Amino acid sequence: MTSFLKRTATRLWSRKVEMGLGVRVTAAAFAALALAITLHLRLPLWAVLTAIIVTQMSVGRSLKVTREYLIGTIGGAIYGGAIAILIPHHGESALLAVLVLAVAPLAFLAAINPSLNVATVTAIIVLLLPTMGQMSPLESAIDRILEVTVGAVTGLLVSFLVLPSRAYGQIRVNAARVLNLLADALQELLAGLTRGRDNDTLHALQDGIGHAISDLNAIGAEAERERSARLSHGPDTGPLLRTVLRLRHDVVMIGRATVTPLPVNLQSRLAQPLARLSEAMTSYLKASAEALRLDAGAPAFLPVQTALEAYAAEVAAMRREGLTRGLPGDMTERFFALGFSLEQMRQNLGDLERRVSEWTDRSASSSKKAEGAAGTG
């Protein structure tokens, strides 16, 4: 029973960001409805829906959605209201013609800039709602702007005040996820040099890496948005994202160099150096991921350096013995491309060490201590 409760608590804690979003969305919907009723808005529904829409996973994303939603709503309300006021549309045929005139330009703009999708919806509401009740197009436009503004402001305030989730906190988790997937892919690719590839596993890893990179780029943009608005403080996200992308490129290049297993005579010499190098690099990637996730210090880089030097020394010995001379041209090209790609990855793993140090508290506290010591001296 105790172990079950611990596992449940661990799973819930691993989903704390999602649980926080659920609490914020609920609070935003409740607050928007209460405020809309207090202000006697005509349709509180739109305030509630807007509050739910703008309450996002992070403060940075909430800022982006709020800005886009307000711009789209105000623009759509003004355009739809102007069409409804300036162009008479008594009768079904005239209403259909005006509807086309209202929707077509906004739909074209939304196709160019998807953030303006709400403008089309708002224009339709402003145009059609007066036909269902006793209100003018101007009143309909003003009501819609007020309702959406109340919902947007409420959702944004809740995002700031209720269990706020900063993109800066999420970016480390997302980067750690990418690093773990890259470690698994690298391990599978290097193992394939001696036993052949498991293509199904590699395809699944490639898909996972692609989705994780996409999520990381999105959360990085949100973190920079928070940083620009002075809502978060921390290092620039660019260097970390670029380092992760370079490591992904290294894995891709290693994949191109390992499409077939090594010849048997090379396997007998390189199996152990490759296994040690794979262990060192994958362990370093996973340890760096753990450091980012737990806000710990960067792992030791020396094992990677030592393992690559041992692999390079064995390759050099094989070349002196002439073991690589009889290889087919394409095999020779891939063999030496592998060595180049591994060296590039070593350099980028060294860069990752610096990036992890920038993003962990331990490095920050060390810097403060060093500054204090310098000041005392």
Q: What is the pLDDT of residue 365?
A: 43
Q: What is the pLDDT of residue 12?
A: 63
Domain boundaries, the chain: 16-161, 168-363
**Which CATH number fits the domain 168-363, given the four candidates 3.90.220.20, 3.30.470.10, 3.40.50.150, 1.20.58.220?**
1.20.58.220
Q: What is the pLDDT of residue 13?
A: 61
Q: What is the rounded distance in angstroms from the CA atom of residue 235 to the CA atom of residue 248? A: 22
Between CA 201 and CA 182, with CA 349 as vertex, the angle to 5 degrees is: 15
Q: What is the rounded distance in angstroms from the CA atom of residue 363 to the CA atom of residue 374? A: 16
DSSP labels, 65-107: HHHHHHHHHHHHHHHHHHHHHHS---SHHHHHHHHHHHHHHHH
Residue 355 corresponds to which tokens in the numbers above? 């990036």
Q: What is the rounded distance in angstroms from the CA atom of residue 191 to the CA atom of residue 186? A: 8
Mean pLDDT per 10-residue interval, the chain, length 377 residues: 69 73 93 95 92 89 89 91 81 80 89 89 85 78 92 93 82 92 94 85 92 91 80 82 95 91 86 93 95 88 94 90 80 88 94 90 42 40
